[in-house]
Amino acid sequence: MDLEQLREIIQLVEETGISEVEIEQDGLRIVVRAHQSGVAHQILTTVPQVSSSAPDADPSDQPEIPPSKGVEVRAPIVGTFYRSSSPDSAPFVEVGDHVNSGDVLCIIEAMKLMNEIEAEISGLVTEVLVENANPIEFDQPLFIIEPS
C-alpha cells in the first residue's frame, strides 16, 4: 500500500461519515477511525509470522553472562557523550585506567554547554559502555568502575 492509497482511504472516511475502516493487506493492518471532531488516523503495522522448522533454543544452552563487577557511572543528563575535551585530544580514561574520586571521565554536551562527568569512587575502569559522540539518555550507563 502506498501513500496515495492511504490518502484515499482517509478521504473516504471524511467524506462518507463512516466511523471506522479497517484494512489488512500483505501483513499490514490499517485502521482509520472518525471522531466527532474530525478524523483520527491510526496506523497499525503487524509483522507476518515466520514459521521456523528449527527447534526453539533452550535458554539453559545459552552461555551465562556473568554480572559485571563494579559500579555503573550513569548519565546525570541527556546530551552527547564525548570521551575527550576535543577531537584531537586523548580520551580522559581508557579501559584499565585507575581513577580517583573526582577525576573527569567524560564530557556530556547539553544545550551547547560542556558538562564534565567525574568519578564518584576510586577504582579501575573496566568498561566504557558508550561510543564517542553518541547521544545518550538520562540515567544511561556510561562506564563500569571496579572499586579499589
Q: pLDDT digit string (tens) for 109-147?
A: 999 899 999 999 999 999 999 999 999 999 999 999 999
Q: For 89, phi and psi rounded to 5 degrees?
A: -85, 155
Q: For 96, phi and psi rounded to 5 degrees?
A: 100, -15
Number of domains the chain contains: 2
In a domain, 66, yes or no: no
In a domain, 23, yes or no: yes
Q: Are residues 141 and 89 in the same domain?
A: yes
Q: Is-contact 107 117, C-beta < 8 A?
A: yes
Give the pLDDT band of residue 68 (cuts 50, 70, 90).
low
In a domain, 64, yes or no: no
For the range 19-26, what are the long-range contacts, defined as Cβ-Cβ under 8 Å and sequence gap of 24 or more?
A: 25/1, 26/1
Rounded Cα distance, 75 and 143, in Å: 9
- The DSSP letter of residue 51 is -
Q: Are residues 78 and 123 in the same domain?
A: yes
Per the model's pLDDT, the better-predicted residue between 86 and 5 turns out to be 86
Q: Kindly tell me if the per-residue pLDDT of 19 is higher than 80.
A: no
Q: Are residues 38 and 75 in the same domain?
A: no
Over residues 75-96, the pLDDT tens digits come to 999 999 999 999 999 999 999 9
- The DSSP letter of residue 147 is E
List residues bridging with 35 in a β-sheet.
38
Rounded Cα distance, 27 and 47, in Å: 6
Q: Which of 138, 102, 144, 98 is nearest to 119 (CA)?
A: 102
Sheet containing strand 79-82, edge to edge, reads 113-118, 104-110, 79-82, 135-136
In a domain, 62, yes or no: no
CA–CA distance from 65 to each of 23, 69, 147 (Å)?
44, 12, 21
Q: What is the pLDDT of residue 94?
A: 97
